[in-house]
A and B are shown apart, each in its own frame.
Chain A
Amino acid sequence: MWDVRGLRKLFPLKSGILGSLLGREQYVHAVDGISFKIKKGEILGIVGESGCGKSTTGRLLVRLEDPTEGSMLFHGDDIAALKGSTLRDFRRRVQMIFQDPYESLNPRFTVMDAVAEPLIVHGVTDSIEAREDLVARALEHAELHPAADFEYRYPHELSGGQRQRVAIARAIVLQPEFIVADEPVSMLDVSIRAGVMNLLLRLRDEFHLTLVFISHDVGVTRYMSDRIAVMYLGRIVELASAEEVIQNPLHPYTQALLTSVPVPDPKFQRGRAKIIGELPSPIDLPSGCTFHPRCPYVQEICRTTKPELREITPGHFAECHFAGEVGIAGSPEMASAPSMSAEPEARAT
């Protein structure tokens, strides 16, 4: 369905007249050349820390941002070049769900107004009855039943979970093929979160939707996704099926990320991540492999040569010169034993 190649998005920084005259323009490398494919009916999870470019990737896919470089083929058509009415048609087929349902819904719109708006914008139907009918059906699909109870309420009368369901109803009312869900559950409480995640999974099955699920929470992403892409500083550093990434991470960053996730089991002894330092600025990217300043296994080649995203085992891609050779992937014993040596360095930063 999607075939993304070499996608880049740079945001220019304000450098002033002098700076631009001297050709010293600087850019934030939000997304720095990523390639991936998404199959129809699949949920691709994108996981990473704040500032890794995961949200920008999502926004590019629905063309809320224009890419700086690269191609995004959607059913074979390059979305990056779309303009005018063809772009409008494309937008009817893709939708987005945002993180904060407190901000993504207009407080002065009733639920009916909010969910009906895409129908009006895209001129789906002129008849008010038909529109209300579609809205009611979308609300029912989002498990807000009976829909009549919700249609004329305002966002402030709804709980967080209900608001996010309204946002989901608004996303599915046009019956899109593809939805980008950007941190859709991170503002919700644990007891509500599971319900919204299960709803998204059910809708995927019912409408044969394709989803990109963006989250900083590895546990949530694992639960939602068929495949997971791990992003670091604008690059996809690892891409494989969800269980493969969780059980057998090949990239040192993924390994560190997984070791760092707290486990809801008081008896479980987790090792300490061997990663050092903090996230470099996305303006001056490190040379070679962008992860090398923090990598515990760094070699000379990492400082000079940029690694490519390689297929290490069938369907499992990693962007590391030594993928599959470093660390004993996934096992906590590996991370715990020698980690003490890295600790003083981590403290010094």
Chain B
Amino acid sequence: MALLEISNLRTYYRVRKGEVKAVDGVDFHADRGRTVGLVGESGCGKTTLAFGILQLLPYNARIVTGEVRFNDELVFRAPLTNELSYYLEHDGGPAVVDAVLARRKQALDRDRTTQAADVLGPLLQEEAYLIEDVEKVLAEDGRDAEATKTALARVIDRRARTMNRGFTRRALRRSMENRMSNLRWSEISMIFQGAMNAFNPVYRIGDQIEEALEAHLDLTPEERDKRIQELFSLVGMRPERAKGYPHEFSGGMKQRAMIAMALACKPDLVIADEPTTALDVIMQDRILAEIRDLQQELNLSMIIITHDISVVAEVSDRIVIMYAGEIVEEGPIVAVFERPAHPYAIGLLGAFPSVKGPKKKLEAIPGSPPDLVNPPPGCRFHPRCRFAQDICQRVVPQLVEVDKGHSARCHFAKEIFTGVMA
């Protein structure tokens, strides 16, 4: 069973031009003791996805649909008001609303029995209220679809307004915050992009790690000290370096300290966002080796986010490729590298220069990634795709399984995979 499970997640950013659909309907899972590599170019939504897991999103982000579960317990999910509004807007008639509702009720029943329910109580209660309201509307006969839609919109709007009122809003916010702070760092931690700047320059590195320990674990100061020493040896640094300030550390050592900090509370899942991007190649190599060793030693689950497919090739068991807010291909690492089934994945692999093997001509992918405020209709990759047909401009492709555990979001995934199209 998956340790972390994300289903149908949509995270949008409000901007002046409209909404940036940074993550748009992503299903993603991280298995226990495994490393999954999340790859994509800048602006494809990979960091938004990761920040979404830890709820570290900026103020203008909005979770529109979907939910995140950890250890089969709810972490958070989109408010039902958002989710229903989304489906009503996107040609969802009463039938779709019914389906959403049924799913939500089922999830709700399950969530109420878990421990997460203690903290998330107010949220679940609000959901139950709205489900009741919506069911009442759906039960009333003699209305056409259009009228039902209006009535639903009214009910949703009313509920959203209640949820935004002072007391309720604070209660909801607090329950979400509590749930997250139970998870953050003690269960899920993160290695941030640019460790260079992730530390506060005016505090000693050791003290910054201690802060995390103090916040999440119940230890005496001596135990905390001991733990910091352990952590420093674990990542290959002398324990007395914990007394140093960030400016006394080189880039690679800061990155190691960052890893030590991420491991401080013995999390089950570590999310590493571009852990080696700012480092020189020799240091990158050492840090990657370190990450690989620690992952095996501690049986960690990891999500490695990077734009560099060669890094993923080295450390991951599974690869997930994102493009324009969607997952376009995922599967076991060797399978995807050997037989990619999505044209974008093929392009990405063909555009990467290597120092091994004979020198080969690199093929660029024409054009540039789309504007995610108004993504292209149909398949989001079609304007850049050399296989594009009529259907690609009209119909949104679904993830197609081409082999066991290996799927691609392309109308012609099977043809490309079997070599009929090439």
Contact = CB atoms under 8 A, between A and B. Distances in A.
A220 interface: yes
B366 A222 contact: no
B365 interface: yes
A268 B314 CA distance: 8
A264 B362 contact: no
B310 A263 contact: yes
A160 to B, nearest CB: 8
A176 to B, nearest CB: 25
A50 B344 CA distance: 32
Contact of A223 (B310, B333, B353): B353
B248 interface: no
A191 B41 contact: yes
B368 interface: yes
Given A191-B41, A263-B314, A49 B356 contact: no
A115 interface: no
Interface residues of A, number: 47
Nearest to A47: B281
Contacts of B311: 262
B280 A49 contact: yes
A219 B353 contact: yes
A258 B347 CA distance: 25
B15 interface: no
A96 interface: no
Contacts of B286: 346
Contacts of A194: 350-351, 353, 362-365
A308 interface: no
A261 B362 contact: no
A189 B362 contact: no
A218 B355 contact: yes
Contact of A198 (B333, B348, B362): B362
A14 interface: no
A348 interface: yes
Given A159-B368, A257-B282, A347-B236, A262 B308 contact: yes
A198 B281 CA distance: 24
A259 to B, nearest CB: 8
A70 to B, nearest CB: 27
A75 interface: no
Nearest to A256: B282
B310 A262 contact: yes
A254 to B, nearest CB: 11
B352 A270 contact: no
B357 to A, nearest CB: 8
B113 interface: no
A262 B314 contact: yes
Contacts of B351: 190-191, 193-194
Contact of B309 (A216, A264, A348): A264
A50 B309 contact: no
Contacts of A273: 282, 285
Interface of A: 49-50, 159-162, 189-198, 216-220, 222-223, 243, 246, 256-268, 270, 272-273, 275, 278-279, 346-348
13 contacts: A191-B347, A192-B364, A219-B354, A222-B355, A246-B355, A261-B355, A262-B308, A263-B310, A263-B354, A265-B337, A267-B337, A278-B283, A279-B250
8 closest A-B pairs (Cβ-Cβ)?
A195-B364, A347-B236, A260-B285, A219-B353, A191-B365, A262-B310, A189-B41, A194-B364
